[in-house]
Amino acid sequence: MKKLRFSALLVMFTWVSFTSGQDLDFRASAREVVSVGDQFRLIYSINGQASGFRAPVIKNFSILAGPSQSTSTSMQIINNQVSRSVEYSFTYVLQATSEGTFTIPPASVNVDGKSYQSNPVTIRVVKGSAPASPGAQQQQSQPQGGEITAKDLFVKASVNKSNPYQGEQVIITYKIYTRIPVAEYSITRTPSTAGFWSQDLIKDNTKLNQYRETVDGNEYVVAEIKKEALFAQKSGNLTIEPLEMDVVAQVQRKASRRGFNDPFFDSFFNDSFFGSTYQNIKKTLRSNQLNINVKPLPSTNRPSEFTGAVGNFSISSSIDRDQLKANEAMTLKFTITGKGNIKLVEKPNLVFPSDFEVYDPRISDNISASPTGVSGSRTFEYLIIPRNPGDFTIKSSRFAFFDIETGTYKTLNSPDFRIKVEKGNGNEANVVAGGTNKEDFKYIGTDIRFIKTSPLKLRPVNSYFISRPLFPLWLVIPPVLLAAFMLIWRNELRKRNNLALMRNRKATRVARKRLKAAEQYLKQKNQDAFWAEVSNALWGYISDKFNIPGSTLSMDSVNQALKNKNVKDELIAQFITALNNCEFARFAPGDKSQAMDKLYREAIEVITNTEQQLK
């Protein structure tokens, strides 16, 4: 059959007589009236073999695609004579952006070494809907090449729950539906999630979940481009604005044929060699708006321990030892595990004996975000130092949450911990906690003055100083010395009254002196002395620099003092972290030799950077 077709073609082309004397027609065409935001085609066509197409300067319109070139071939058979004509076309896809009447200048091409110009195109852009052009109904039922309809490509937002409780996990999915190839996409406007705490559930956007889905009888390729877990922070009707994105789609444009409609020639000239082309079309998509009605949590039977945890949780707690000496450190871990708003769970309300010094907990999260939602665990690690010997009990802690499945509040209890504290080694007074350190006590000794036993110096009777020649000079010296003393004393009083200034000037020098001593202990592997010197350097620097009494020093006061001096938030966080790391390593059990060198460099860096910012 193929041989028969090619034989017929060879015979046919021996009859072909080309119409060399035909007039060239280079014309431009577009819709005369469009509305603002409409997308339409601007087509330049010429009935000859053209080259060197020079596009005009197109103003007042957005160019979404083009120019894309295509070729169409038509043949006619009259009295056994076959004539063939070739038409070239160059197509733009434009979008109207503002009202008015605009003229697009002519374009030009080269044919057989001669230059030809098209006609100018005048387009009127109106605010409302543009009047339908003839054949518009036919174009809607069968879209022309180079145009994308809402049925070919759209984006849709969906939510798994439209009436959740406050704090309940809600998953929003944005899907793109397409019946044409998509070359690329980019999200240009992310929906605002005011009133929600959000968590992205798709970390790798290069591997999208794709599948097929039928909508209104049409089969689409569907891809999930964005997925979020939302937790409402308040009740009421909340709105998620639409998502906007730009998509570049590939549309196939087949060359038109004229003259006859024969199955043989249709199958032959439909080949891509005869003018079927692909062009990239850029289109802006907008998803639907979502309205979520958030229900408030029940006020009846709400436990006093409830702090906002919503989901399904379990708890566990443990201590590293239950027997220790006074001023030794122990660790208590309290872990909350489950699915829900676990990142928003606050620290438990643990009650410790008054003889225990307890630091703010170190929070560590092991939380994962998957397409099914947010789950994992949050651990609160407390560093505890008993100050006095005795038998103590850390009482049970209650954790309350709202269970979504049952719609009720549930309360979980941690176990009691009994701690036996033995008497320490007698150096209790030397142990000072950084976060709540007290004033250091100084012992000032007193001397006993003994009776003088050395020989006495005697002078002759009736020998007076007033009779000596230097007496007048001595009369002048006291007033001069008094005047000088008064000036010096006034200046000294001014300095002593500004005690904060004096301490401020000495702060860096004292801190460097302590860090230098810490360096010596570091070389000697003397851990206890090293940690004490580094801690005193950090806390002492803040105390001297900002004139804060040692008895009121805490993490909060350090944070506030640095903020008042407009220190950068990153440096404040670095300073607080250094203090926490120092105190945790100082009192935590075990070998801390590996952390000594790291913390020493960290202390030098944070003090140096703080001093530079305060200058």
Structural contact between residues 276 and 307, judged by C-beta atoms closer than 8 angstroms: no
Tokens of 440: 């250091």
Q: Which domains does the chain have, with CATH numbers?
A: 2-131 (2.60.40.10), 153-251+286-294 (2.60.40.680), 310-423 (2.60.40.740), 499-614 (1.20.120)
Phi, psi (deg, nearest 5) at residue 319: -125, 150
Report the share of the chain in percent with pLDDT over 70: 73
Find the mean pLDDT for residues 58-72: 75
pLDDT at 54 over 60: yes
Q: Identify which has the larger pLDDT, 173 or 61.
A: 173
314-335: pLDDT as tens digits? 999 999 998 999 888 999 999 9
Torsion 92-98-99-104 (CA) sign: negative
Tokens of 514: 């302590």
pLDDT at 274 over 50: no
Tell me, letter by letter, the H, E, C secondary structure of 439-458: CCCCCCCCCCCCCCCCCCCC
Q: Measured in Å, how far apart are the chain's first and last C-alpha atoms?
A: 92
Q: Going by C-beta distance under 8 Å and a sequence separation of 6 or more, which residues neighbour residue 428?
A: 326, 327, 387
Distance CA 237, CA 295 (A): 9
The continuous run of DSSP H or E covering 570 comes out as: helix 569-587
- Residue corresponding to tokens 């998953």: 171
What does each C-alpha distance from 34 to 93, 98, 131 come to in angstroms? 13, 10, 8
Query: Residue 599: its pLDDT value, please?
Result: 80
Structural contact between residues 535 and 583, judged by C-beta atoms closer than 8 angstroms: yes
Q: Going by C-beta distance under 8 Å and a sequence separation of 6 or more, which residues neighbour residue 325?
A: 389, 421, 422, 423, 424, 425
Q: Is pTM, for the whole model, over 0.75?
A: no
Query: Residue 129: its pLDDT value, please?
Result: 55
Helix (H, G, I), strand (E, B) or coil at 236: strand
Beta bridge partners of 381: 333, 362
Q: Report the mean per-residue pLDDT for the chain.
A: 76
Find the mean pLDDT for residues 74-83: 51
pLDDT at 374 over 50: yes
Query: Residue 128: its pLDDT value, please?
Result: 62
Helix (H, G, I), strand (E, B) or coil at 611: helix
Beta bridge partners of 95: 39, 62
pLDDT at 500 over 70: no
Structural contact between residues 12 and 82, judged by C-beta atoms closer than 8 angstroms: yes
pLDDT at 140 over 70: no
322-369: pLDDT as tens digits? 899 988 899 999 999 999 888 888 888 888 998 899 988 999 989 888
Query: Residue 146: its pLDDT value, please?
Result: 53
Q: Identify which has the larger pLDDT, 291 or 438.
A: 291
Find the mean pLDDT for residues 263-269: 39
Query: Residue 443: its pLDDT value, please?
Result: 37
- At residue 22 the predicted structure's pLDDT band, cuts being 50, 70 and 90, is low
The continuous run of DSSP H or E covering 282 comes out as: strand 277-286
- At residue 78 the predicted structure's pLDDT band, cuts being 50, 70 and 90, is low
Of 95-104, 297-306, 395-404, 601-610, the range with the lowest mean pLDDT is: 601-610
Find the mean pLDDT for residues 415-421: 92
Structural contact between residues 571 and 609, judged by C-beta atoms closer than 8 angstroms: yes
Print burial letters for 572-600: b (CB count within 10 Å at least 16), e (below 16). Answer: bebbbebbbbbbbbbbeeeebeebbeebb
Distance CA 603, CA 546 (A): 18
Distance CA 221, CA 219 (A): 7
Structural contact between residues 428 and 385, judged by C-beta atoms closer than 8 angstroms: no
What is the DSSP annotation of 147-191?
Answer: ---TTTEEEEEEES-SSPBTT-EEEEEEEEEESS-EEEEEEEEPP
546-590: pLDDT as tens digits? 777 766 777 778 888 888 878 888 888 888 888 887 777 766 655
The continuous run of DSSP H or E covering 292 comes out as: strand 290-294
Phi, psi (deg, nearest 5) at residue 39: -105, 135
Instruction: Select from 241, 219, 258, 228 the least CA-distant residue to 86.
Output: 258
pLDDT at 133 over 70: no
Query: Residue 177: its pLDDT value, please?
Result: 93
Structural contact between residues 225 and 176, judged by C-beta atoms closer than 8 angstroms: yes
Distance CA 124, CA 35 (A): 8
Tokens of 524: 């000697």
Give the best-scoring range by mean pLDDT among 12-21, 266-275, 276-285, 561-570: 561-570
Query: Residue 317: its pLDDT value, please?
Result: 92
- Residue corresponding to tokens 């002048």: 476
Instruction: Select from 159, 164, 163 the least CA-distant residue to 311.
Output: 164
